[in-house]
Structure 1
Amino acid sequence: MPKLSAHPTHLNERIKSLDILRGFALLGILLINILLFALPNAAFSNPSVMGDLSSSDHFSYYLVHVFGELKFMTMFSILFGAGILLFITRLENKEIDGSKIHIRRMLWLLLFGMIHAYFIWFGDILVAYSLIGLIAVLLRKMKDQWKIVLCVILYLIPMGFFYMIGSLFESMPKEMAADAMKDFSPSQDLLKAEIDLYQVGSWFDIFVKRAKLNMNYQVGSFFMLSMWRTTGMMLLGMVLLNKGILSAEKSKLFYLILAVVGLTVGTLFSNEGIHQMIEAKWEVIHFFKFGYQFNYFGSLFTSLGYIGLIILIYQMKILQFLTKALEAVGRMAFTNYLCQSIICSIIFYSYGFGMFARFSRIELLALVALIWIFQMISSYYWLKYYRMGPFEWLWRYLTYKEKPQLSLNVKHQ
């Protein structure tokens, strides 16, 4: 019997609905990430630190928070989990040890993530995804009903952590609490120092700041939030793939109901959360104990609603120019994710144009739209000539230890 060898997924093996959903989620993530690139860190959770919001900026904050924050990241986590299961299953169907190759794949992703996190941007998700990908793969053989039970438990754990942090702040002496909360309500001097750093600081100074932030994101945020929520969502993604939901195998009525129920419930929760935070004037204790909780819980429903809506559009064969563009972005998600960081670094940091804190929130939405258009067009035309994006090619080369064919003009062996 000839020896079977692992190789990247052929074009005819791809599931279009997964690529479309991945492209949609990847573009949506930029709505959130650009705020962390363009504005002081505290302004993400407390927009009032930059002064009173104009009516347009207030609308932008509301729109991004209710329809964007956590929603697209949740979607991406679901799709990443489905991708893990699909990757290993395809290899095992060819009598190849998929787990071994998956581990190598995640370790290379970890290296890419560390380079991205420390040399480009502190908001990296690749490190967390690679580590959690090594955990989630161990749970892939659980029965679907137990995956759902574990998913629910894991998803609820961060809500408890956030409530505990809010309660801890509440019980502290005022001076100690003020010091602990300075990252959420920084003084004008701290804000000015952060703005000056990114507008005119040296690359090395920004690198040092980035390294400090990474310690918080890769340790504190990972163990308090990412490890639990992302693992749970990856398990959910495996279930949704097994049930044929992500591969568009259900009826149009199913996806219509999923879209309506998911978006309605999710929007109601996130809307209530933001109104409470506005009334509390983004007060930190309320943010942790109650305000953030509404959006955190609602984001899961909104994400499922988006999945239903996008697959319904795909099944009905409407807006095909959009679904084809999203499919192209999804096939090049790794490349596009890194390119978003490179583009934003050039625009906002001192070693580029130094435009940090110079855009209003509504202007940032317009900039996001321009980057979306660029990535949809460039991805679509790139894939007319090549099988995959350049970073996908490199990742697969390192994973499979053989050079994948890049050009479409040469027949794949």
Structure 2
Amino acid sequence: MPNIQAIPTLPKERIHSLDVLRGFALLGILLINIQLFGLPNASFSNPSVMGELSASDYFSYYFVNVFGELKFMTIFSILFGAGIVLFINRLNERGLDGFKFQVRRMIFLLIFGMLHAYLIWFGDILVAYAVVGLIAVLLRKMPKNHKIILCVVLYLIPMAFFYLVGGLFESMPAEMAKEAMADFNPAPNAVAGEIDLYQTGTWFDIFVKRAQLNMNYQLGSFFMLSLWRTTGVMLLGMVLLNNGVLAAKKTKYFYFWMAVLGIGMGTFFAHEGFQHIVASKWEMIYFFKYGYQFNYFGSLFTALGYIGLILLIYQMKILRFFTKALEAVGRMAFTNYLCQSIICSIIFYSYGFGMFARYSRAELLIWVLIIWTFQLISSSIWLKYYKMGPFEWLWRYLTYKEKPQLSLNVKYQ
């Protein structure tokens, strides 16, 4: 019998609804990330830097902003928090020190994240998840009500930061404010330089730019946004797991109304915010103080609504081919996340095909559909022969210091 420390989660132990949700969230994240891979960085918040939007690009930007931005990341954070509890509890039940293994697991996730961030893509989420995961694990034993209160408080903190940043820009002299906001409203020559870098620059040139962006994301954005929001949402995930929501143990009626109210409320806020931002012509002071706040606040409702919708579909046992494929993607979420970055690097960067800024926003959505199709099919095929994805295997090997069995031909007694 293999050492108990190296045994992966057995099929009978898996909560299949979590894998389905994880696959759904992982695919949805690509809607956001591909915009950052394929277009200048500033255009994510201020599309006007690329010139006037066509009708199809306007619709694409609206769709991604209202239905995608922050929503799928929120679901992923909820599931990550739930996963912390499951991981520790399962090891504790086997007589092992779950906390110790979780700390080691997060340390290796941090290493993976740093490699991903600096060698592949600046938009990495693994570093933030590793750091926040170490914080959330310390809070896992809090009473449910305390978790919910802390979640609300932590979730609202970034809204105050956004308002303060907008106020700071507003109080600056005009020239100083223009310089401070250059990353959000760059000059045409700066945009052209970024396009040229990713289309024709060397890997080292792009690495230097990536390192500069990482300093901003891993320091500024982390302490302004990710630390608070992600910690709070992970705590919510622990509550939703313990209440049986994520395990699809509630009634169909419950998930129906969770979907209707969540998506309805969240979409209302995101739509209102989008309309106000467009009316302000993507003016950055307004964006920080008011415009972005709508989408930020509403994204939690939408994420919960999406969870309700997917779990309702799962409970009703409809679209089984689709939920099975989502489950396969979710079981290989770590591998698929890294593969999305590798695929997009090859498509858009100079050391691949160099197609950066050559596709419209609408055309980027076609690439999303192509990558989704590939990952849904390839994940399903891989799991017919192997127990887990290759990066899941490596992460588990490093965590337990023993090689888990990968092939499905080897069964545990």
The residue number in structure 2 matching 1:130 is 130
Q: How does 1:166-315 map to 2 (within 5 A)?
A: 166-315=166-315
Tell me the distance in 1 between the aligned counterparts of 2:167 and 2:139. 33
The residue number in structure 2 matching 1:59 is 59
Alpha-carbon shift at residue 92 of structure 1 (Å): 1.2
Tell me the distance in 2 between the aligned counterparts of 1:110 and 1:185. 32
Tell me the distance in 1 between the aligned counterparts of 2:388 and 2:291. 41
The aligned amino acid for 2:363 is E
The residue number in structure 2 matching 1:153 is 153
Tell me the distance in 1 between the aligned counterparts of 2:410 and 2:141. 38
SS at match of 2:405: coil
Q: Deviations over 1:166-195 (max 9, x none)?
A: 001111100000000111110011001000
The aligned amino acid for 1:163 is Y
The residue number in structure 2 matching 1:94 is 94
Tell me the distance in 1 between the aligned counterparts of 2:259 and 2:92. 34
Is the Cα contact below 8 Å between 1:19 and 1:326 reproduced in 2? yes
The residue number in structure 2 matching 1:346 is 346
Tell me the distance in 2 between the aligned counterparts of 1:287 and 1:369. 30
Alpha-carbon shift at residue 93 of structure 1 (Å): 1.7
Q: Deviations over 1:288-330 (max 9, x none)?
A: 0011000000000000000000000000000111100000000
Tell me the distance in 1 between the aligned counterparts of 2:389 and 2:96. 25
The residue number in structure 1 matching 2:29 is 29
Alpha-carbon shift at residue 95 of structure 1 (Å): 2.3
Q: Give TM-score scaled by structure 1 length.
A: 0.99
Q: Deviations over 1:17-55 (max 9, x none)?
A: 000000000000000000000000000000111000000
Q: Deviations over 1:263-300 (max 9, x none)?
A: 00000000000000000000000100011000000000
The residue number in structure 2 matching 1:15 is 15
Alpha-carbon shift at residue 343 of structure 1 (Å): 0.1
Q: Give TM-score scaled by structure 2 length.
A: 0.99
Alpha-carbon shift at residue 402 of structure 1 (Å): 1.1
Tell me the distance in 1 between the aligned counterparts of 2:330 and 2:4. 28
The residue number in structure 1 matching 2:392 is 392
The aligned amino acid for 1:47 is P
Tell me the distance in 2 between the aligned counterparts of 1:5 and 1:401. 9
Alpha-carbon shift at residue 4 of structure 1 (Å): 6.1
Is the Cα contact below 8 Å between 1:155 and 1:228 reproduced in 2? yes
Task: Determine whether 1:110 maps to 2:130.
Answer: no
Tell me the distance in 2 between the aligned counterparts of 1:399 and 1:4. 13
SS at match of 1:8: coil
Alpha-carbon shift at residue 6 of structure 1 (Å): 5.7
Tell me the distance in 1 between the aligned counterparts of 2:48 and 2:16. 42
The aligned amino acid for 1:384 is K
Q: Deviations over 1:140-179 (max 9, x none)?
A: 0000110000000000000000000000111110000000
Is the Cα contact below 8 Å between 1:57 and 1:361 reproduced in 2? yes
The aligned amino acid for 2:370 is L
- Identity %, equivalent residues: 74
The residue number in structure 2 matching 1:326 is 326
Alpha-carbon shift at residue 5 of structure 1 (Å): 3.9
Tell me the distance in 1 between the aligned counterparts of 2:16 and 2:219. 35
Is the Cα contact below 8 Å between 2:38 and 2:359 reproduced in 1? yes
Is the Cα contact below 8 Å between 1:4 and 1:96 reproduced in 2? no
Is the Cα contact below 8 Å between 1:267 and 1:302 reproduced in 2? yes
Is the Cα contact below 8 Å between 1:4 and 1:95 reproduced in 2? no
Is the Cα contact below 8 Å between 1:329 and 1:376 reproduced in 2? yes
Tell me the distance in 2 between the aligned counterparts of 1:321 and 1:61. 30
Q: Deviations over 1:58-112 (max 9, x none)?
A: 0000000000000000000000000001100111122211000000000000000
Q: Deviations over 1:97-149 (max 9, x none)?
A: 10000000000000000000000000000000001000000000000110000
Q: Which runs of 5 or more residues in structure 1 are unaligned? A: none
User: Could you tell which deviates more after superposition, 25-34 or 92-101?
Assistant: 92-101
Is the Cα contact below 8 Å between 1:277 and 1:283 reproduced in 2? yes
The aligned amino acid for 2:68 is G
Is the Cα contact below 8 Å between 1:328 and 1:383 reproduced in 2? yes
Cα RMSD for the two superposed structures: 0.8
